[in-house]
């Protein structure tokens, strides 16, 4: 029994050591710096129900795209008051891609096209801010 345990342990250690060599991730395959894609949406209807429905559509169509390093969606923090704060949006989308090619694939994907079709009539405007991220 002890011999089987030792053999199994060695196999697990060997597999763990070898796995990174075979692992493939967007970050490892990135050809450039990470690209942050931030979109600030202003809706025609600013009600809680409209904003909640919009957030659900973002989650439905915009999550889990290839090359996504980070995804978050948020509602404007109405209780935060400071002079330089911008308050003319309802929903903020924050997506970081491993590099620009993944952002380009995302924008050309059928799911992104379906998102645009689903929200177009409800949206007053969208402002897009893309930036390359640098290491601190």
Examine the pLDDT at 40 and tell me if it is beyond 90. yes
Which tens digit of pLDDT belongs to each residue from 18-38? Answer: 333 323 345 567 789 999 999
Band the pLDDT of 135: cuts 50, 70, 90.
confident
Length of the chain (residues):
136
Per-residue tokens: 134: 């640098």
Q: Which pLDDT tens digit goes with each residue over 102-132?
A: 999 999 999 999 999 999 999 999 999 999 9
Q: Which of 135, 126, 136 is nearest to 37 (CA)?
A: 126
Strands 91-97 and 123-132: what pairing? unpaired
CA dihedral 52, 46, 70, 132 (to 10 degrees): 170
CATH 3.30.70.100 fits 30-132, yes or no: yes
- Sign of the alpha-carbon torsion through 108, 113, 116, 121: positive
Q: What is the pLDDT of residue 27?
A: 53
On whether the CB atoms of residues 70 and 94 are closer than 8 A, the answer is: yes
Give the per-residue pLDDT at 113.
Answer: 98
Q: Where are the domains of the chain?
A: 30-132
Mind listing the pLDDT tens digit for each residue in 43-68? 999 999 999 999 999 999 999 999 99
The conformation of residue 78, written as its DSSP 8-state character, comes to: T
For the chain, give the longest Cα–Cα distance: 70
| pLDDT, tens digit (0-9, with 9 covering 90-100), for 76-97 | 999 998 988 899 999 999 999 9
């Amino acid at each position: 029994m002890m011999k089987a345990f030792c053999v199994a342990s060695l196999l697990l250690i060997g597999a763990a050591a070898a796995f990174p060599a075979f692992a493939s991730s967007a970050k490892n395959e990135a050809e450039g710096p990470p690209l942050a894609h931030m979109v600030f949406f202003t809706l025609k209807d600013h009600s809680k129900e409209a904003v909640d429905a919009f957030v659900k559509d973002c989650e439905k169509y915009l999550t889990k795209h290839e090359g996504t390093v980070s995804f978050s969606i948020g509602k404007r923090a109405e209780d935060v008051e400071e002079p330089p704060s911008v308050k003319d949006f309802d929903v903020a989308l924050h997506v970081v891609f491993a590099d620009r090619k993944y952002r380009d694939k995302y924008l050309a994907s059928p799911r992104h096209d379906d998102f645009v079709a689903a929200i177009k009539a409800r949206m007053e405007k969208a402002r897009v801010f893309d930036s390359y991220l640098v290491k601190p």
